[in-house]
């Protein structure tokens, strides 16, 4: 692309030193940046805390034109801008609901004058025709899509507003795209590339291993015993820590108990006001609190390098979420612990919170409220149907997913569209519930725990990590190479479960992520005797 004329990898290394203070580029960073220099679009999958931001920050300085940063949360956008170096070549601004109309106008004018290099915004802002037209006139040369797993309906944290992102980016030129995520198994990566309409995509997977983190599971008999163990672990720990809970009430109970024990805790969940949440975030970064008791709302953008422990007082919704949350420990490379305090009864929470299936009558009402060829306005659909905002949003999301599938229903066939929407909802529910079962499998496995986590994301590890509780008690064994003909990443077809992709293979198990069924663990012997998996 023209913006890269005369720019070499040596130039990138020089800017990394001069502007960003990095003496060298990490392997995943260098491979991704080299692909961008070739003019390719890039998807980078790299562990939490491994410097993914540099992969768009550095090219933003090297390449002429504006760099657009699409990010899902206001706090994350703010952290990304604050994290830019104090250099005139790396100035940034933000368009968000937190800014006044005059502040957003000033940011756009600064971008037009070339006074800023990075402009951060959410997909909702980009969906505004007026904002998109203004940005299109700026001719951005690079778009970075952060937390890119939010694009995929297979991703654990799918955001409906991300669904149109590929289409919206097309209105901007289209510019070169770099997508970044820490959690994406093979099928999710393929979905991201397709939905963002990436051209000449280079997929860089830098690895999921976190060698500084010691994983462990502590099985508890009841809630009181679990609270005692979690509190004891906090009291015995050193440095900053996190205690994750599934519910707001549980987070508050742990905060109250730790406060009575003389610890400096804080509580963070979506039920607290924006100002209170911001104050907790800032106090945690400033070491003014010892431990934050939080739900998953304390998530993206929490970049504190010296977190020494992450304790899960209840089972998380998925291993994707667990990996992101325990990955907030040990970002400085020093030893850290991540413990799951596990009760099988907790898994019912995950099933309860899994996506529901809407009623056929509600689907019909929403479809009937959207005019042919119209991009639906959720507020207008709410007004026409009388249904709640969340219900309307979910049905519109399912509708968009169905209509963008390779085999959408025929135009005007309402019955077929309703049936397809309901089936897509059922498939999403099965996927959510299969993720819950994978949490059970992790908690109860006799494998090396890090090997199990890596396998979930499609990365094979033959040798135990030597750090987790299974390795320390001697139960984890080296995984011998298996003679199964199935390879990680291979597309397969099952007579009952349909199409899927192999994500993990051991001598005892084959784990497949099926498009309509979610994760399934199969016995290799039975699979081979009955020829249950065929190339797709």
Q: Are 442 and 449 in contact (CB under 8 A)?
A: yes
Q: Specify the 3-state DSSP secondary structure of 181.
A: strand
Question: 44 and 73: one domain?
Answer: yes
Question: 407 and 519: one domain?
Answer: no
Mean pLDDT (whole number) for 283-288: 93
Inside any domain, residue 466: no
Inside any domain, residue 453: no
Residue 74 has pLDDT above 80, yes or no: no
Mean pLDDT (whole number) for 210-218: 95
Range in 148-152, 475-479, 510-514, 519-523 the model is least confident about: 475-479
Question: 43 and 191: one domain?
Answer: yes
Structure confidence at residue 351 (pLDDT): 65
Cα gap 230→339, rounded to integer Å: 9
Q: What size, in residues, is the chain?
A: 536
Residue 283 has pLDDT above 50, yes or no: yes
Structure confidence at residue 353 (pLDDT): 60
Structure confidence at residue 1 (pLDDT): 46
Question: 11 and 134: one domain?
Answer: yes
Question: 72 and 217: one domain?
Answer: no
Cα gap 48→76, rounded to integer Å: 14
Q: Given 352, 373, 391, which residue is the final one in a domain?
A: 352
| β-pairing verdict for 510-514 and 498-505 | antiparallel
Question: 115 and 59: one domain?
Answer: yes
Structure confidence at residue 469 (pLDDT): 96
Residue 481 has pLDDT above 70, yes or no: no
Q: Given 207, 240, 261, which residue is the final one in a domain?
A: 207
Question: 298 and 336: one domain?
Answer: yes
Residue 252 has pLDDT above 90, yes or no: yes
Inside any domain, residue 285: yes
Residue 483 has pLDDT above 90, yes or no: no
Q: Are 208 and 459 in contact (CB under 8 A)?
A: yes
Written as six digits, the tokens of 322 are 């667990």
Within 8 A by CB and 6+ apart from 331, the residues are: 48, 49, 303, 304, 305, 306, 307
pLDDT in tens, 316-356: 989 988 998 999 999 888 999 999 999 998 888 766 666 67
> What DSSP letter does each residue of 24-85 carry, written as one string?
S--HHHHHHHHHHHHT--EEEEE-TTS-TTHHHHHHHHHSSS-EEEE-S-HHHHHHHHHTS-
What's 273's DSSP letter?
Answer: -
Inside any domain, residue 445: no
Question: 360 and 346: one domain?
Answer: no
Number of structural domains, the chain? 4
Residue with tokens 């820490």: 182
pLDDT in tens, 516-536: 899 999 998 899 899 999 998
Cα gap 485→528, rounded to integer Å: 9
Written as six digits, the tokens of 284 are 């945690």
Structure confidence at residue 376 (pLDDT): 79
Question: 188 and 252: one domain?
Answer: no
Q: Given 352, 377, 403, which residue is the final one in a domain?
A: 352
Inside any domain, residue 63: yes
Q: According to the 3-state scheme, what is the secondary structure of 368-429?
A: HCCCCCCCCCHHHHHHHHCCCHHHHHHHHHHHHHHHCCCCCCCCCCHHHHHHHHHHHHHHHH
Question: 252 and 182: one domain?
Answer: no
Residue 88 has pLDDT above 80, yes or no: no
Give me the domain span that covers residue 398: 355-428
The CATH number linked to 522 is: 2.40.10.170
Q: Specify the 3-state DSSP secondary structure of 5.
A: coil
Question: 48 and 178: one domain?
Answer: yes
Question: What pTM value is reported for the model?
Answer: 0.85
Residue 364 has pLDDT above 90, yes or no: yes
The CATH number linked to 134 is: 3.40.50.300
Structure confidence at residue 428 (pLDDT): 86
76 to each of 120, 132, 416, 514, how far by Cα in Å? 10, 21, 40, 32
Q: What are phi and psi of 64, to 5 degrees?
A: -65, 145
Inside any domain, residue 469: no
Inside any domain, residue 191: yes
Inside any domain, residue 458: no
Question: 143 and 246: one domain?
Answer: no
């Amino acid at each position: 692309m023209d913006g890269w004329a005369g720019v070499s990898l040596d130039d990138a290394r020089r800017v990394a030193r001069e502007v960003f203070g990095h003496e060298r580029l990490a392997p995943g960073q260098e491979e991704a940046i080299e692909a961008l220099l070739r003019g390719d679009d890039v998807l980078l999958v790299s562990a939490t805390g491994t410097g993914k931001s540099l992969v768009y920050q550095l090219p933003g300085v090297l390449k002429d034109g504006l760099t657009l940063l699409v990010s899902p949360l206001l706090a994350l956008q703010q952290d990304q801008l604050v994290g830019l170096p104090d250099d005139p070549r790396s100035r940034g601004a933000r368009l968000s609901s937190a800014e006044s109309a005059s502040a957003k106008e000033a940011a756009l004018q600064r971008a037009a004058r070339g006074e800023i290099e990075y402009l951060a915004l959410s997909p909702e802002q980009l969906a505004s025709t007026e904002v998109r037209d203004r940005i299109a006139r700026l001719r951005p040369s690079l778009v970075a899509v952060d937390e890119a797993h939010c694009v995929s309906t297979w991703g654990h944290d799918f955001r409906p507003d991300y669904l149109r992102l590929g289409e919206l980016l097309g209105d901007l030129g289209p510019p070169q795209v770099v997508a970044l995520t820490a959690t994406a198994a093979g099928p999710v990566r393929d979905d991201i590339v397709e939905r963002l309409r990436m051209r000449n995509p280079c997929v860089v997977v830098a690895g999921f291993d976190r060698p500084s983190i010691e994983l462990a599971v502590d099985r508890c008999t009841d809630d009181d015993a679990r609270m005692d163990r979690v509190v004891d672990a906090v009291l015995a720990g050193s440095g900053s820590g996190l205690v994750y809970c599934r519910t707001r009430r549980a987070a508050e109970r742990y905060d109250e108990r730790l406060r009575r024990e003389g610890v400096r805790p804080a509580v963070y969940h979506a039920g607290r006001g924006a100002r209170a949440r911001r104050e907790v975030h800032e106090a945690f970064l400033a070491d003014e609190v010892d431990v934050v008791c939080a739900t998953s709302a304390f998530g993206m953008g929490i970049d504190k390098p010296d977190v020494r422990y992450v304790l899960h007082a209840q089972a998380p919704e998925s291993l994707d979420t667990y990996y992101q949350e325990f990955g907030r420990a040990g970002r400085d490379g020093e030893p850290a612990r991540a413990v799951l305090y596990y009760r099988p009864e907790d898994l019912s929470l995950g099933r309860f919170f899994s996506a529901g299936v809407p009623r056929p009558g509600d689907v019909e009402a929403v479809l009937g409220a959207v005019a042919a060829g119209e991009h639906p306005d959720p507020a207008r659909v709410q007004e026409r149907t009388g249904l709640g905002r969340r219900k309307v949003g979910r049905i519109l999301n399912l509708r968009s997913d169905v209509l963008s599938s390779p085999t959408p229903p025929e135009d005007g066939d309402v019955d077929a569209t309703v049936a397809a929407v309901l089936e897509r909802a059922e498939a999403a529910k099965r996927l959510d519930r299969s993720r819950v079962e994978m949490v059970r499998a992790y908690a109860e496995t006799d494998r090396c725990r890090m090997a199990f986590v890596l396998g979930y994301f499609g990365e094979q590890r033959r040798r135990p990590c030597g750090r987790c509780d299974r390795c320390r008690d001697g139960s984890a064994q080296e995984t011998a190479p298996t003679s199964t003909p199935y390879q990680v990443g291979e597309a397969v077809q099952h007579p009952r479960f349909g199409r899927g992709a192999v994500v993990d293979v051991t001598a005892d198990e084959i784990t497949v992520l099926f498009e309509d069924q979610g994760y399934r663990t199969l016995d290799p012997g039975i699979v081979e005797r009955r020829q249950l998996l065929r190339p797709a």
